[in-house]
Structure 1
Amino acid sequence: MDRSKTSEDKVVVTVDELKKMIRNNEEDKIDEIDIVTTATCGIMSGTMAVFYIPIAEPGTFRKGEKIYLNGIEGHIGPCPNEYLGSVDVVVYGTSYVGDYGGGFLFKDLVAGKEVDVLLESEGRTYKRTITLDDIPTARMIGTRMAFKNYSAFTNLGEEPVRTIFHRRKMKKGEASFSGCGELNPLQNMYCDERNLLGKRVLLNGAEGVILGFGTRSSSGKENIMISADMHSMDPYYLGGFITSGGVEVFNTVAVPVEVDEKNKEFLKTLDENIPLPLVNVVGRSIIDIGNYAQVWKDADLRPNINIYRCRNCDVCIPMEMCPTKAIKRMPHLGNRPLPTEDCFGCGICTGACPYGIYSMKLNSILGIPITCRQSDRERAMRLSRELKERIEKGEFKL
């Protein structure tokens, strides 16, 4: 990469543009490129938010003991904030009440929605309705994000299994998977923590910084720890994801990768060369090794919809089963339930509607059909394009 160039002068391509060049036998063009904007989107359980929330006037209470945001319990501290009428709070993305989890709470806050806060202190209760604008500090920290791809899961047992890797209990003879394959940032670079530390990225559309390798990071299965200000995030890129094992949280991460000698060979990697282990959901024992081309090649990223099949049922099963709560009733279409932009492309709706409104090519892994997808290439590619545009405009400094 020519470091003498300004950001606006650099040749920037998105990761999917680069992979198309390589498939067209134009890989020599990589030498003309300075930056590749890589990205991934998927469930990232190790997500939490750190808030500083004013609750009441100073002196109103000594210090908070318990706190709930839209019913989700937060963890107060470590700062006691004695007699300040405010609290420091950590909320886990995987905390939930009913089918409402931390991911949905974070999305609501970023979208500017009102959130009800209930604080308990020394036998008294204090309430306040707030928006993100009322929270001076709101910082997301991902303790393990953008895993250098992941695994596919299947059930070898006879009985359906309750699991975080599927919206419903996973049946024998079906599979789910995570990972954006060749789009993934860590798949496209030489993973050295010293080089990653302090690197600027986009987390859910907000500029963030890599804090180093994340928890459970290991050679060949690296992940990163990231922090970013939630005030600058775009609600499209994050949210909750309901599973049969609890409510999870998804995020979208984009990372600019310099085209240098260390990264060049990694940038040429395609889905068909990236292993995707198939493991038994109980015990995590590896059954066999597939690859990411099996699950992503020519797959549909969003469902096809035949609205004329809709019977406008009083209880819409796809609406009830949608992991991201993306299916809403549309008044301008006779109140029929249809997906909004919150659709994650997971594929659950295709098997949920008895009238076959939804269809989708989900592919298979080692001959086992995918029935739930927990990564979203649509969002990943959109944030990759957004990062490219920001670099070209000089809005994102490298």
Structure 2
Amino acid sequence: MTRLEEICERIRNKSAIVLTASEFKKQISDRGPDELIKEVDVVTCGTCGVMSGTYAVLSVPVASPGSFLRADTVTLNGVPAIPGPCPNERLGLVDLIVYGTAHASSSYGGGHLFRDIIANHEIHVDVTAGGKDFQAHVCGHDLPHARLFTTRSAFKNYTAIINRSDKPEHTIFSALPLEGESREATVSGCGEINPIENDPTLRFLTPGTQILVNGGAGFIIGQGTRTSGARPNIAVHGEMISMDPDFCGGFLTSAGPECLTSIGTAIPLVDEQVINSLMIRDADIPMPVMDIANRQQVSCSSYDRVWTGTAVEFTYHPNNCINCDPCLIHNICPVQAITGTGEIDYSRCFTCGTCVHLCKGTAYSGNLGTLNLPEGDIPIVLRQSDRRRGEKLCQKTKEMILKGELQI
């Protein structure tokens, strides 16, 4: 029996030893690799962040059969969808595709819609067909088919973004226009817990591999678009009805709503090559720094500047509030996690840092870190990946393996 077969057998009989990526990296520092490869069977990894290449394929009942020939246009909660490719002629049913980056407004887009479907909220559907208008209300879990896909996700390492021009830039990489003259930086990527950082050759992240997508059962389709030897990524899919709304949603930027997606994976410890990959730490991971003007690399930092010694949660200090009217932080929070009283709704908070950066009264605190670049230290003002949720996803993946609900 091979080492992999032994691990799979232990998972089936629920005797496997499973650690999250963070647990494993801590133990390997304390005990060394030789002991751990004998004792640990699987390490779980996870990432949560803005992933623009996310879309959904849905089948939506609209009207009784014979009501219309085929749909010309469709919106769900105002988010435009693409009818087809199957016309479903005269069935009153519409098959459609919705992009995670589609916009109903400046504050609601495809990512918000996906979260509402997963949370089983009521969805308002508008269809035009043959010059007539049709409306319907459906709950997310009542859709006959709802499947989420990514064209690219879980990049091995992403980038930091700065603006070297002298004018602010509206961009999907900042909540407000990104200030010029390299005065601030935004970052993406979960660093050392990222699935592909720990499996850089995609040895175990192959087509058909079972993973978690937004906390629910999913599978890898293959390598994603824009994948390369230096920056591999994967394409995935999963049933939306099985997903957890805590791991997805919309994210507001100065260029419109974006889409949050989460990926959880497992790596079996079959040999020393696996151990060597799993030893990666934040300080070892390069983070290219790009100029927003042309997305070309101008410098490089590392992920310890983002995640080592920085805040995993922010604190609200009501005594510091200067009662701005209207409250900028309430209105600009990318995930709408600031309540009307200024409190942080931690169930929605993405620990992006917008509140810390923009509050004039310094009512919110937490260290976001800086990038050490040749032109000096540049403060990080926005994190578009949530390490805290990434850690939660690692833990959930671990628990599902231990229960026999996720196979290697």
Give TM-score, length-normalised by structure 1: 0.95
Contact 1:30 1:259 in 2 (8 A): no
Structure 1 residue 97: Cα displacement: 2.1
**Distance (whole Å) between structure 1 residues aligned to residue 141 and residue 210 of structure 2:** 24
Which residue is equivalent to 2:23?
17
Structure 1 residue 275: Cα displacement: 0.6
Contact 2:101 2:110 in 1 (8 A): yes
Structure 1 residue 355: Cα displacement: 1.6
Contact 2:214 2:245 in 1 (8 A): yes
**Distance (whole Å) between structure 1 residues aligned to residue 200 and residue 357 of structure 2:** 40
After superposing the two structures, state which structure 1 stretch, 190-199 or 312-321, moved more: 190-199
For 1:254, what is the secondary structure of its paired residue? strand
- The equivalent position to 1:37 in structure 2, one of 41, 44, 61, is 44
- The equivalent position to 1:386 in structure 2, one of 388, 396, 400, is 396
Structure 1 residue 312: Cα displacement: 5.1
Q: How does 1:264-279 map to 2 (within 5 A)?
A: 264-279=275-290
**Distance (whole Å) between structure 2 residues aligned to residue 191 and residue 124 of structure 1:** 53
**Distance (whole Å) between structure 1 residues aligned to residue 259 and residue 284 of structure 2:** 28
Judged with a 3 Å threshold, the aligned counterparts in structure 2 of structure 1 residues 250 and 219 are, in CA distance, closer, same or farther, namely same
Structure 1 residue 222: Cα displacement: 0.6
Contact 1:278 1:365 in 2 (8 A): no
Which residue is equivalent to 2:361?
355
Structure 1 residue 285: Cα displacement: 2.2
Moved over 6 A (4+): none
Structure 1 residue 29: Cα displacement: 3.5
**Distance (whole Å) between structure 2 residues aligned to residue 34 and residue 337 of structure 1:** 42
Structure 1 residue 341: Cα displacement: 1.0
Which residue is equivalent to 1:67?
74
Structural RMSD (CA): 1.5
**Distance (whole Å) between structure 1 residues aligned to residue 343 and residue 305 of structure 2:** 31
**Distance (whole Å) between structure 1 residues aligned to residue 35 and residue 179 of structure 2:** 46
Structure 1 residue 2: Cα displacement: 4.9
Which amino acid is 2:387 matched to?
A: R
Which amino acid is 1:117 matched to?
A: V
**Distance (whole Å) between structure 2 residues aligned to residue 89 and residue 66 of structure 1:** 10
1:252-303: CA deviations, max 9, x gaps? 1100011123422111111111111111111122222211111111110221
**Distance (whole Å) between structure 2 residues aligned to residue 41 and residue 74 of structure 1:** 25
Q: How does 1:362-373 map to 2 (within 5 A)?
A: 362-366=368-372, 367-373=377-383
**Distance (whole Å) between structure 2 residues aligned to residue 126 and residue 388 of structure 1:** 45
Contact 1:104 1:239 in 2 (8 A): yes
Q: How does 1:202-281 map to 2 (within 5 A)?
A: 202-261=212-271, 262-281=273-292
**Distance (whole Å) between structure 2 residues aligned to residue 209 and residue 344 of structure 1:** 25
**Distance (whole Å) between structure 1 residues aligned to residue 169 and residue 33 of structure 2:** 44
Structure 1 residue 18: Cα displacement: 1.1
For 1:16, what is the secondary structure of its paired residue? helix
Structure 1 residue 115: Cα displacement: 1.2
Identity across the alignment (%): 38
- The equivalent position to 1:79 in structure 2, one of 70, 86, 92, is 86
Contact 2:204 2:267 in 1 (8 A): no
Q: How many residues align?
A: 393
**Distance (whole Å) between structure 1 residues aligned to residue 244 and residue 357 of structure 2:** 30
Which amino acid is 1:6 matched to?
A: R
Structure 1: gaps of 5 or more residues = 330-334
Which residue is equivalent to 1:165?
173
Contact 1:193 1:213 in 2 (8 A): no
Which residue is equivalent to 1:114?
122
Contact 2:215 2:247 in 1 (8 A): yes
For 1:287, what is the secondary structure of its paired residue? strand
Which amino acid is 1:20 matched to?
A: K
Which residue is equivalent to 1:134?
142
Which residue is equivalent to 1:180?
190
Contact 1:321 1:352 in 2 (8 A): no
Give TM-score, length-normalised by structure 2: 0.93
Contact 1:164 1:248 in 2 (8 A): yes
Contact 2:211 2:406 in 1 (8 A): no
Contact 1:193 1:212 in 2 (8 A): no
Which residue is equivalent to 2:65?
58
Which residue is equivalent to 1:49?
56
Contact 2:196 2:202 in 1 (8 A): no
**Distance (whole Å) between structure 2 residues aligned to residue 236 and residue 387 of structure 1:** 14
1:316-346: CA deviations, max 9, x gaps? 21110100111123xxxxx454334111000
Which residue is equivalent to 1:332?
none
Q: How does 1:340-351 map to 2 (within 5 A)?
A: 340-351=346-357
**Distance (whole Å) between structure 1 residues aligned to residue 143 and residue 392 of structure 2:** 28
**Distance (whole Å) between structure 2 residues aligned to residue 318 and residue 25 of structure 1:** 45
**Distance (whole Å) between structure 2 residues aligned to residue 395 and residue 184 of structure 1:** 21
1:226-246: CA deviations, max 9, x gaps? 000000111000010111122
